[in-house]
Chain A
Amino acid sequence: MKKNTILLVEDDELDVISFERTLKRLNIHYDLFIAQNGKEALSMLKDKENPVLPDVVLLDLNMPKMNGIEFLRALRREKKFHDLKVFIVTTSSETADRATTEELGISGYIIKPLSYTDNTRRADSMDSFVQFHLTKILNEKGY
């Protein structure tokens, strides 16, 4: 069976490790591609020779060079990426960010644990997101 492909757009190394550990802990195997900002993600998607063809994009909002919203806007301008599933994974709880990204078309908006005290609860939500939502969405696509 072909492994599902995930593109994680995230500049914080710790968040990347955290996500990898979650996948590992839940014993779920994906092909994980990592881009450190929107620009890098775009060039990976549009690579002439060896483009990344993700089933889902997990997108952080606050990044250098090209932030999440800019990337999403650029992505939605291209016809072939119009229906690509994108989840926002961010620490920003600003309603404006949520509204803008929802308008551009997203499959979900997950708020990363902001602090140590709410780490446990949010970590649970991260686990359940990976375990249920992500898996379900990928399965629906028929892989």
Chain B
Amino acid sequence: MKMKLSTQILFAFLLTLLLSIFDTGSNYLLSLKVERNIEFLNKSQEIVRNSTRLHKTMIEMQSSFRGFLLTQDVNFLDGYKNGRTTVPELLAEQEEFIKDNPTQISILDSIKSLHNMWLVYADILISAKEFSLAKKSPDSYRFFFENRLKKQIGKNINDDISRKFAEFDRVEYGIRKIHSNNLIASIKKTHYFSLILFMLTIIVGISTALYIVFRTSKRIQKMVKFAENISDGHFTTIRDHSRDELTSLSMSLNKMSEKLQRNINELENRNAELDKFAYVVSHDLKAPIRGIHNVINWTEEDLGSELSPQMKKHLDIIRHRAKRMEDLINGLLDYARVRRKTAPQITNVNEIVYQIIDSIVPRSFAVEVYDLPIFFTERSKLEQVFENLISNAVNYTPNKDGRIIISCKEYADHYEFSIKDNGIGIDPEYHSRIFEMFQTLREKDETESTGIGLAIIKRILDEQNCSIRVVSVLGQGAEFIFTWPLNKN
């Protein structure tokens, strides 16, 4: 499935959000259920309370009725009279509460009819009692007393009512029981459901997050590696078929890599061309100089003493200029050759330095050489650096009391060589300029300096990623310090 990265993240987010909504929803439904159950419980309590009040009122009526019959005190009848108004009210109220429950309705109907029966029975006895009290004739009451009261008709009705009430309450408690069982079950179910949803949310959330992180970090790592390759000069391309935001980054990197590769190839080609050009030009430029030199020699040989001193001087000037021209060409040739790779070999720096000293340092110089290493490196280039620096030291130091000190310090990954003289020195003002091409601080005719030597050294050291610096004050000698890689392989 090819999806944009942002779509993937959005998708994962929506999925976890959806699961959370389900979870919250189920909990909300549960809370509604609990709320409804509390309402039901309140109503149920009301019903039971009502039922108790009703029953109590009826019992009060009964005791008030019995009190009157026993004491013949009319005051006792207050409870009975109250009951006659209260009971219908309570009954109506109760009927409203239980209108959805046929069982309870029928029980209440039975209670109602039993109560009405009892009322008929009680009314008759009360009237009879009142009548006998008023007429002072107990007989009329006695009849009812014998036939009704003594036969326990009232008591039977009352017992029935009590039973009916008990039954009524039992039904109510039964309903309550069912409700509470249902509630517990749904709470349990919701808890279970909620737990599963919660775990699902966590699993989905974590796994999608991990998936995205893993995918992207793997690809980003690939890109980082790729970028490192580019910086190391390996212009490869990266493969990415996901078609998302990172893919466009990969594509840009690829484009960059290709472009760099093209430019660097072009640059290398041009450099190679330039080197070849410099080499060929220098080579071909030498032939005419040799010709000039030959012709001057022949002229001198042929004419000898016939040459006027003026003519001799002019011929010397031509020869001198031709020599300078040749030095410049040789310098250019050396400069062009720097770029040509040479094979590394075991190099005894001591040996190199002594050979150079033998060939170019006049005997009048005092030369000190300290601890030079033997190691594996591009010998000819190191040799050229030493040759140019020692030659400079000789050129810029007066022969009398001339002194050159050559030493070396070893570091973890490079050597630091120093060539120090007690010559004329270099004004710090010029320190940054001396490594540029054709920079010589002397007048043209004064010496054979071409100004290429230090430029060649700089170029060789740049190729080796090394550095050179000069420590010098005008009139107090100069010390050139350069580093050279110590290749442990």
> What is the interface of chain A, defined by CB distance below 8 A to chain B?
12, 14, 17-18, 21, 91, 113-117, 119
Contact = CB atoms under 8 A, between A and B. Distances in A.
A116 B290 contact: yes
B29 interface: no
Interface string B264-303: 0000000000000000000100110111011100100000
Nearest to B326: A116
12 contacts: A12-B291, A14-B290, A14-B294, A17-B294, A91-B287, A113-B290, A114-B286, A115-B289, A115-B290, A116-B323, A116-B326, A119-B290
Contacts of A21: 298
Interface residues of B, number: 14
A70 to B, nearest CB: 21
A89 B38 CA distance: 123
A116 B324 CA distance: 11
B293 A116 contact: yes
B105 interface: no
B330 interface: yes
A115 B330 contact: yes
Contacts of A116: 286, 289-290, 293, 322-323, 326
Contacts of B286: 114-116
A119 B295 CA distance: 13
B99 to A, nearest CB: 122
Contacts of B298: 17, 21
Given A14-B291, A17-B298, A116-B322, 12 more contacts: A12-B287, A14-B294, A17-B294, A21-B298, A91-B287, A114-B286, A115-B289, A115-B290, A115-B330, A116-B286, A116-B323, A117-B330
Greatest chain B CB density within 10 A among A14, A21, A113, A114 is at A14
Nearest to A14: B291
A40 to B, nearest CB: 21
A17 B293 CA distance: 13
Contact of B295 (A12, A14, A114): A14
Greatest chain B CB density within 10 A among A17, A91, A113, A116 is at A116
Contacts of A14: 290-291, 294-295
A119 B298 CA distance: 14
Interface string B316-336: 000000110010001000000
Contacts of B295: 14
A27 to B, nearest CB: 15
A21 B294 CA distance: 11
Nearest to A18: B294
A119 B323 CA distance: 12
Contacts of A12: 287, 291
Contacts of B283: 114
A76 B133 CA distance: 179
Contacts of A119: 290, 293
A91 B330 CA distance: 16
A117 B448 CA distance: 13
Contacts of B326: 115-117
Nearest to A112: B290
Greatest chain A CB density within 10 A among B283, B294, B323 is at B294
A12 B284 CA distance: 13
Contacts of A17: 294, 298
A42 B308 CA distance: 46
Nearest to B295: A14
Contacts of B322: 116
B486 to A, nearest CB: 33
A129 B324 CA distance: 30
Nearest to B322: A116
